[in-house]
Amino acid sequence: MTKTAIDLPPKGGFSFDLCRRNAFLESQGAKMPKFRKTGTTIVGLVFKDGVILGADTRATEGEIVCDKNCEKIHYLAPNIYCCGAGTAADTENVTDMVSSQLELHRYATSRESRVVTALTMLKSHLFGYQGQVSAALVLGGVDVTGPHLHAVYPHGSTDTLPFATMGSGSLAAMAVFESRFKEGMTKEQGIEVVCAAICAGIFNDLGSGSNVDLCVITKGGKEYLRNYQQPNPRSYTHSKGYHFTTILSSKIRSLRNHVRVVEGDAMEEE
Amino acid sequence: MSMMFAPRLTEAAAPTTHAAPTWSPYDNNGGTCVAIAGEDYCVIAADTRMSTGFSILTRNYSKIHQITDKSVLASSGFQADIRALQKNLDARHQIYQHQHSKQMSCPAMAQLLSNTLYYKRFFPYYAFNVLGGLDSEGKGCVYTYDAVGSYERSGYSSQGTGMQLIMPVLDNQLKSASPLVLPLRQSTTPLSEVEAVDLVKDTFASAAERDIYTGDGVEIVIVNRDGIRHELMDLKRD
């Protein structure tokens, strides 16, 4: 068999060479590894003075909860935040990448970032990967043109809305929004409706749970309210401690003679 | 030049593959069951959540069924099949009582359950069972089953979606003797009844933290020489 095309060096991005092999293996009964998804409830709402974003805090790997208190509201710019649902790695990386691009853009233009800029960067990235980057986002922020709220879908389409929900709990949350949303609510009213919507997802959707995170963005600034509500404390704890393995013997060696401690700066933690 | 072990990827050479079936006779309603056998008691517990897919059908469904005065069956899996299985066992027990003028003992019920499950070996009951109770000597006994009736008497067991979270904790705390060590010991746990119930509550609370299908409430049934007692505890509802 002669090769008609010259082997070009890979240009980056995804290589789809193994897709046929994967499809064949799957038809033969092999199980594909599970991704860590955030099976989530995320919402956004426009109120009188700005935008409120809300999210639950449960991350699942199939049927098991792998993180009971993860952060789903990601920073994009000082005035723009983004909630992410779908594959956790995808939402993390796409929001980090657009956040970096926005910062460079701010230096280049000497202006505050606009929400539509973030929107265009996200949608062109997601469309370029044809839905393989499984990130469903609720993007919200306030810029010189006013408050904006958008829903971004994994294939790259977007909606501009006064209220939006995404994730496996989106139906439960949307039911609350459709029932209680009004134009021009105050901050307190908006927070109450967003909390009710997230709680509807937390209690009625098995993919969402634990606590409610909020982010309120106005012209003056932003309030990141981590764990604003914690409606799920642990129901029961064993009255006495547990006894595990009996210690048969212990030996303690001091390392002071072998290790020389030198002063230095503490490592920066992310 | 022959590549003998290359997978055949062309449509013509490949064996006909069936399209993925769209309808399944089974559904998994989730949930977890646990049973612990003591010297003169048996604790059987199951959560009260019934779910399908990512939704909750009800927060208050009992997975526990009392078959005789001394045997209690807890089952998780497909609740429609489990209902049918319970009715089947009840009918068979009634016939036994008419023929023998006495109730079935727990070991006898255990074997009946195994035979009933294997009878449907080629269209199984989607039921993961744990049978608990007191044997003829008044000692606690627990029997675990797979979907087609393979069973074993043990000191404790768990089945269902939270089984993999709870079983290692029970193994650690109850230290069951390995079934491979001879002479075979039908071990019961040295824990008191109160300690066993405490352990069950804590393991369910922990399972509800990490398993999305376990939660809402746990129903605990304690069988001892005085009879059968029920307790109900709340679990996380998220």
* Nearest chain A alpha carbon to B31: A63
pLDDT in the model for residue A243: 77
pLDDT in the model for residue A26: 84
* B215 backbone φψ class: left, alpha, beta (φ>0; ψ -120 to 50): left
What does the pLDDT average to over B87-113?
97
Q: What is the DSSP string of chain B?
A: ---TT----STTTSPPPPPPPS--S------EEEEEEBSSEEEEEEE--EEETTEEEES----EEE-SSSEEEEEEE-HHHHHHHHHHHHHHHHHHHHHHSSPPPHHHHHHHHHHHHHHTTTS---EEEEEEEE-TTS-EEEEEE-TT--EEEESEEEEETTHHHHHHHHHHHH-PPPTTSSSP----B-S-HHHHHHHHHHHHHHHHHHBTTS-SEEEEEEEETTEEEEEEEE----
Contact B212 A64 (CB under 8 A): yes
A18 touching B, CB under 8 A? no
What does the pLDDT average to over B104-125?
96
Phi then psi dihedrals of residue B88, to 5 deg: -60, -50
The order of strands in the sheet holding A73-77 is: A73-77, A80-86, A135-143, A146-152, A158-160
Contact B9 A58 (CB under 8 A): no
pLDDT in the model for residue A265: 76
Whole-complex ipTM: 0.79
A257 touching B, CB under 8 A? no
To test the contact with chain B by mutation, choose from A20, A236, A243 the residue with the greatest count of B C-beta atoms within 10 A, namely A236
pLDDT in the model for residue A61: 86
Max distance between CA atoms of chain B, in angstroms, equals: 79
pLDDT in the model for residue B135: 93
Q: What is the DSSP string of B48-64?
A: --EEETTEEEES----E
Bigger pLDDT: A40 vs B17: A40
Contact B205 A235 (CB under 8 A): yes
Residues of B in Cβ contact (< 8 Å) with A206: 51, 54-56, 212-213
The order of strands in the sheet holding B64-66 is: B64-66, B71-77, B127-134, B140-145, B151-154
pLDDT tens, position by position, B27-36: 999 999 999 9
pLDDT in the model for residue A8: 64
Tokens 């922990």, residue?
Answer: B206
Contact A239 B198 (CB under 8 A): yes
pLDDT band at B5 (very low <50, low <70, confident <90, very high): low
Contact A236 B161 (CB under 8 A): no
Residues of B in Cβ contact (< 8 Å) with A24: 7, 9
pLDDT band at B1 (very low <50, low <70, confident <90, very high): very low
pTM: 0.81
Host H or E run for residue B7: none
Nearest CB to A63: which of B201, B205, B212? B212
Residues of A in Cβ contact (< 8 Å) with B212: 60, 63-65, 206-207, 209
Least confident among A8-17, A179-188, B122-131, B181-190: A8-17
pLDDT in the model for residue A85: 94
Residue B42 pLDDT exceeds 70: yes
Q: Please check whether residue A188 is in contact with residue A21, taking contact to mean a CB–CB distance below 8 angstroms.
A: no
Max distance between CA atoms of chain A, in angstroms, equals: 74
Residues of A in Cβ contact (< 8 Å) with B235: 235-236
> CA A41 to CA A169: how far, in whole Å?
5
Per-residue pLDDT of chain A (270 residues; tens, 9 = 90+): 555 556 666 565 667 778 888 888 888 887 776 666 658 999 999 999 999 999 999 999 888 999 999 999 999 999 999 999 999 999 999 999 999 999 999 999 999 999 999 999 999 999 999 999 999 999 999 999 999 999 999 999 999 999 999 999 999 999 999 999 999 999 999 999 999 999 999 999 999 999 999 999 999 999 999 999 999 888 888 877 787 777 778 898 887 777 777 787 777 765
B202 touching A, CB under 8 A? yes
How far away is chain A from the Cα of B8, in angstroms, using its nearest Cα? Answer: 9
Contact B211 A64 (CB under 8 A): yes
A2 touching B, CB under 8 A? no
